[in-house]
Amino acid sequence: MKRSSWEKYQKTIPDDNFYYARSCIRQNFFPGSEAAFLKILKDDLGVDVFDDAKHTSCTGIGYHSDIVPLETIMTVVARQFSLMNEAGYKNMVSSCITSFGLYTEILSMWHHFPELEEKTHDNLKKATGRDFVKPECVVHSSDLIFHFRDRIAAKAKKKLVNSVTGRPLKVVEHIGCHYAKIFPTAGIGGSEFPYVLAGMVESWGGEVVDYPERRHCCGFGFRNYLVQANRGAPVANSRQKLESMAPYKPDFIVANCPGCTMFLDKWQYAIQQMEGVTYGADGHGIPVLSYEEMAGLVLGYDPWDLGMQMHQVSVEPLLMKLDIDYDESHKFLGNNGKYISRPTDCGL
């Protein structure tokens, strides 16, 4: 890929005034990531971002599983916009790639079919007594970290560099399909050359791995993994990617989608348990980070505050490469200091 290929695909990202829409699943799998995002934006960068307890799931999982009809999801999304108006914000920042894809898709549908937007106004009024104004801008939270990547680099306590060899860490970046494969103009770098994560990695001293299956889907989808018996196909997708990246010996994977991050992490455990195959060095897995966790480590956050003890693949080898001090005895203590119990050690 030519380094300049992404440059013609750009989008406007505001500097301030964001209403934050959380993901419905991320807090289970990567519980510190959303808190880290808010802390980085508010405390480190001084950005006005509002975390609202009133908003709900966008119902994207139900929509993509053919359970939630289009009219219903449009009304749910309209309610989120209404809450944003109520809180006095103009821009929406979504934690989830699927929510981001849905907001973009619905705004596009309303643009091309104004009668759908009119009907949604009616539906929302009937259901909740509310009305809404569309946001001026919808961005994904990885867009914002990308947007502020140089400011983060200026405050960096660690670089993505192997502390022993002094060489840049080799990073596999994986972009969620709903980021730019639905609407290429909605993402930085479009669908073919997404630069949103690669930009962060390069700004913070790492080296991006360009491997054959770089743009392959992780297999998450929705309806195709909900039924347990069907999970052979999703896991085969992740395996395709892992087999393709393994020869390049990446130090870690970073992803910007809740499902991809979870899949690439947890399937390494499933594949190891089912087939005895691992993809990292010395029989271990390849650590999988969210971009907030990567930014948090760069900014010197404690890995256990970032929730990295909840990963399936152990992150300690990566922390050692980065020369990050961590207290092993605090790994499984929650914020209140209580023991949160530990998972079965699977050797990854």
Please select the residue that binds another protein; options are 270, 310, 319, 333, rule is CB under 8 A.
270
The set of residues, in sequence order, having a beta carbon less than 8 Å from that of 315 and lying 6+ positions away, is 252, 287, 289, 303, 308
For another protein (CB under 8 A), the number of binding residues is 16
Judged by CB, which is closer to another protein: 52, or 213? Answer: 213
Instruction: Give CA–CA dist 182/148, Å, rounded.
Output: 25
Judged by CB, which is closer to another protein: 228, or 341? Answer: 228
Calculate ∠ Cα 236-242-248, nearest 5°. 155
Sign of CA dihedral 275, 278, 282, 285: negative
Sign of CA dihedral 177, 181, 183, 184: positive
Please select the residue that binds another protein; options are 275, 282, 325, 345, rule is CB under 8 A.
275
Could you tell me how far CA 138 lies from the centroid of its own chain? 15
Under the binding rule (CB under 8 A), the answer on residue 232 touching another protein is yes
Scanning 2-10, 99-107, 266-274, 279-287 for contacts with another protein by CB under 8 A, the matching segment is 266-274
Judged by CB, which is closer to another protein: 251, or 265? Answer: 265
Please select the residue that binds another protein; options are 273, 281, 327, 334, rule is CB under 8 A.
273
Instruction: Give CA–CA dist 62/254, Å, rounded.
Output: 26
Question: What is the Cα Rg of the chain in Å?
Answer: 20
Q: Residues 50, 282: contact at Cβ < 8 Å? A: no
Scanning 135-143, 147-155, 272-280, 323-331 for contacts with another protein by CB under 8 A, the matching segment is 272-280
In angstroms, give the least distance from the CB of 240 to another protein: 7
Scanning 9-17, 67-75, 154-162, 226-234 for contacts with another protein by CB under 8 A, the matching segment is 226-234
Judged by CB, which is closer to another protein: 20, or 269? Answer: 269
Judged by CB, which is closer to another protein: 70, or 236? Answer: 236
In angstroms, give the least distance from the CB of 345 to another protein: 14
In angstroms, give the least distance from the CB of 258 to another protein: 21
Q: Which long-range contacts (CB under 8 A, 24 or more apart) does 35-40 make?
A: 35/307, 36/292, 36/293, 36/295, 36/296, 36/301, 36/305, 36/306, 36/307, 37/95, 37/141, 37/145, 37/292, 39/301, 40/145, 40/152, 40/292, 40/295, 40/296, 40/299
Please select the residue that binds another protein; options are 46, 129, 166, 276, rule is CB under 8 A.
276
Judged by CB, which is closer to another protein: 120, or 312? Answer: 312
Please select the residue that binds another protein; options are 4, 228, 336, 341, rule is CB under 8 A.
228
CB atoms within 10 A of CB 286: 24
Instruction: Give CA–CA dist 196/58, Å, rounded.
Output: 23
Judged by CB, which is closer to another protein: 159, or 231? Answer: 231
Site string for another protein, 233-252 (x = CB under 8 A): x-xx--xx------------
Could you tell me how far CA 74 lies from the centroid of its own chain? 23
Q: Residues 261, 288: contact at Cβ < 8 Å? A: yes
Under the binding rule (CB under 8 A), the answer on residue 230 touching another protein is yes
Positions touching another protein (CB under 8 A) are: 228-233, 235-236, 239-240, 270-271, 273-276
